[in-house]
């Protein structure tokens, strides 16, 4: 692409909508965030984020520059064969929107739709914690748990509906039910809501320890959040330590399996919960290493995301730039 080219990037996540404009290398130049209305569904959200993109492109700094492609980061599964959103667990109606056709009609350029966690992996590989590594596995710990794998600067796409679903690896078959319908998934034990549910389950098993915890003394059970659990753990609370260590040990099982299967050079941990404390990463490193096959233990590192809240939008922009550039040369 020429130096005056632009790409457009979208993100539709659990709580926010983002539009962004990037240069020909995919690096974001400007973004605009839009909050959903309280009762919005997919059609309203789509209109809001497209309007935000219109506003960005109308800025004087982009006057005369040519839009070349669009990347659309979707907070749910994507059907790659039809280049369309498939399933969103937090907002209804996306499966009825022909995102590709609607955006092509509005902006007149090619569109590529991809899952948000895969795009986060791509962004970290290009501009973040994975720069310089040939392979990267990204894990987001937040409202849910998702994953993405990048090799040689490209998303490793294995299936029509995706891959790298680390959040739905079962690590405790007798564990709590997950939103996917299975029991004991990583997401059910290690996401923000999962950590809270785990806390209440452990409270029932260890009532005396719970009652002596700062979490119990702070107020009603419905006020216990993952943020408070992490804060109590960092303060040395023994009950919170039991909860966090149990959750981390289950995530470590999935991370070690990932290393044994894919041998990524970098595992990047992101998301609101994932970025809550460097000590959490230290705990994950300590629990993961003994579960990795010995001859792979020196092949990977676990690091924190560097791109923060912009990671998905940035990944959308990178994918849009790659979509125009075409397939990569064979790295050999």
Rounded to whole angstroms, how far apart are CA atoms 300 and 211?
A: 40
Q: What is the pLDDT of residue 222?
A: 67
Q: What is the pLDDT of residue 36?
A: 83
Asked whether the beta carbons of 72 and 98 are under 8 A apart, the reply is: no
The answer, yes or no, to whether residue 329 has pLDDT greater than 80, is no
pLDDT in tens, 55-76: 999 999 999 999 999 999 999 9
pLDDT in tens, 250-265: 999 999 999 999 999 9
Q: Cα–Cα distances in Å, from 300 out to 134, 138, 296?
A: 11, 13, 7
pLDDT in tens, 36-55: 888 889 999 999 999 999 99
Rounded to whole angstroms, how far apart are CA atoms 48 and 101?
A: 17
Cβ partners under 8 Å of residue 134, min gap 6: 151, 152, 265
The answer, yes or no, to whether residue 26 has pLDDT greater than 70, is yes
Asked whether the beta carbons of 140 and 154 are under 8 A apart, the reply is: no
Which region, left, alpha or beta, applies to residue 152 given φ > 0 means left and ψ of -120 to 50 means alpha? left
pTM: 0.94
Q: Cα–Cα distances in Å, from 121 out to 11, 46, 145, 314?
A: 14, 24, 13, 10
The answer, yes or no, to whether residue 332 has pLDDT greater than 50, is no
Confidence of residue 330 (pLDDT cuts 50, 70, 90): low
Confidence of residue 328 (pLDDT cuts 50, 70, 90): low
Q: Return phi, psi of residue 270, to 5°.
A: -130, -165
150-159, 180-189, 200-209, 319-328 — which is least confidently predicted? 319-328
What mean pLDDT, rounded, does the chain reach? 94
More confident residue, 14 or 48: 48
């Amino acid at each position: 692409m020429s130096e005056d080219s632009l790409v457009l990037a979208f993100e539709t996540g659990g709580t926010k909508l983002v539009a962004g404009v990037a240069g020909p290398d995919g690096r974001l130049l400007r973004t605009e965030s839009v909050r959903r209305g309280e009762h919005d569904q997919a059609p309203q959200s789509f209109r809001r984020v497209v309007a935000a993109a219109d506003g960005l492109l109308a800025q004087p700094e982009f006057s005369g520059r040519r839009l070349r492609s669009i990347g659309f980061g979707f907070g749910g599964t994507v059907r790659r064969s039809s280049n369309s959103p498939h399933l969103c667990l937090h907002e209804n109606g996306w499966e009825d929107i022909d995102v590709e056709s609607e955006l092509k009609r509005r902006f007149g350029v090619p569109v590529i739709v991809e899952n948000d966690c895969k795009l986060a992996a791509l962004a970290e590989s290009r501009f973040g914690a994975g720069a310089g590594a040939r392979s990267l596995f990204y894990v987001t710990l937040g409202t849910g748990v998702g994953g993405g794998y990048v090799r040689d600067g490209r998303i490793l796409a294995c299936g029509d509906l995706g891959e790298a679903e680390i959040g739905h690896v079962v690590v405790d078959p007798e564990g709590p039910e997950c939103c996917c319908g299975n029991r004991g998934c990583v997401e059910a034990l290690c996401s923000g809501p999962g950590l809270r549910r785990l806390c209440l389950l452990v409270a029932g098993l260890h009532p005396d320890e719970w009652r002596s915890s700062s979490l119990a003394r702070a107020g009603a059970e419905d006020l216990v959040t993952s943020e408070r659990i992490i804060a109590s753990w960092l303060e040395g609370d023994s009950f919170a330590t039991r909860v966090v260590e149990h959750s981390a040990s289950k995530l470590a099982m999935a991370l070690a399996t990932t290393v044994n299967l894919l041998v990524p050079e970098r595992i990047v941990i992101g998301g609101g919960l994932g970025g809550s404390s460097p000590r959490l990463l230290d705990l994950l490193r300590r629990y993961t290493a003994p579960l990795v096959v010995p001859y792979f233990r020196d092949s990977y590192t676990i690091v924190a995301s560097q791109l923060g809240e912009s990671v998905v939008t940035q990944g959308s922009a990178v994918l849009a730039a790659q979509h125009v550039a075409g397939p990569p040369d064979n790295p050999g």
